[in-house]
Amino acid sequence: MTNTTEKAPTINERKRQWYEESSLFLGKVCLKMGLRPNFITFVSLGCSIVSGIFFWRQQMIWGVVWMILTSFTDMLDGSTARAGKIGTVFGGIFDHVSDRYGEFFILAGITLSGAVHPGWGLFALFGMLIASYTRAAAESMGKIKNCAVGIMGRLEKFILIIAGSITEHFLPVGTWPRGGWLELALIVVGVISTITAIQRLVYAKKVLGDRQEV
């Protein structure tokens, strides 16, 4: 007798489903405005550059504002593609590459500002990039449908950085310009990203087993 019981969705899958369904109406609004997903992705990249510049100039609140706009527009490109069923393979690649550049510009701006020790800025940046790369490698090379596992995604890491920046601005600790809440946030992001990369490697090993390269 064949077991037809479907595998229950994971927490990340349920979160992703809720996220996609709840943002769909915003995508419909963008379509009515004549906006296309790739254009919105380009706008998101521009927002990340502006955010990085403000962080570099030690204007944290403005850096946070543009960082929020980066996340918001990053959400809009996907919801617009789903709402109009106009998502393309290139659009997905462009979105992923744009996200990585966005992370670089924001974290580079924070690191160059002197608000944190450069080592922790690089640690957080590398952690976020390697976590994303591990997922991309598992999905492209391993043909795994979805390897977005892990304790925390990109949005949650951005929220940590935003919270650290705001707290550092209003409740600074330590001797400026080094140390404090923002530096702590970057350390946490780096650690969590490293753990996420390991989780994705373990998940890929579990799914792929000893499958040979073709």
Rg of the chain's alpha carbons, rounded to an integer?
19
Q: Domain locations in the chain?
A: 11-206
Contacts of 61 (CB under 8 A, 6+ apart): 165, 166, 169
Query: How much is the mean pLDDT over the chain?
Result: 88
Per-residue confidence (pLDDT) for residue 143, from 0 to 100? 87
Q: Rounded to an integer, what distance in angstroms lies between the CA atom of residue 19 and that of residue 27?
A: 12
Q: Answer whether 182's CB lies under 8 Å from 138's CB.
A: no
Q: Answer whether 153's CB lies under 8 Å from 91's CB.
A: no
Nearest to 193 by CA among 147, 160, 139, 152: 152
The pLDDT tens digits along the chain (214 residues) read 444 444 555 566 676 677 677 788 899 999 999 999 999 999 999 999 999 999 999 999 999 999 999 999 999 999 999 999 999 999 999 999 999 999 999 999 999 999 899 999 999 999 999 999 999 999 988 888 888 888 888 989 999 999 999 998 888 875 544 568 999 999 999 999 999 999 999 999 999 987 776 6
- Indicate the CATH number of 11-206 among 1.10.10.10, 3.60.15.10, 1.20.120.1760, 3.30.70.2860: 1.20.120.1760
State how far Cα 115 lies from the chain centre.
Answer: 22
Residue 142 is classified by DSSP as S
Per-residue confidence (pLDDT) for residue 76, from 0 to 100? 94
Enter the pTM of the model: 0.87
Q: Answer whether 78's CB lies under 8 Å from 135's CB.
A: no
Per-residue confidence (pLDDT) for residue 171, from 0 to 100? 84
Q: Rounded to an integer, what distance in angstroms lies between the CA atom of residue 144 and that of residue 121?
A: 31
Q: Answer whether 147's CB lies under 8 Å from 107's CB.
A: no
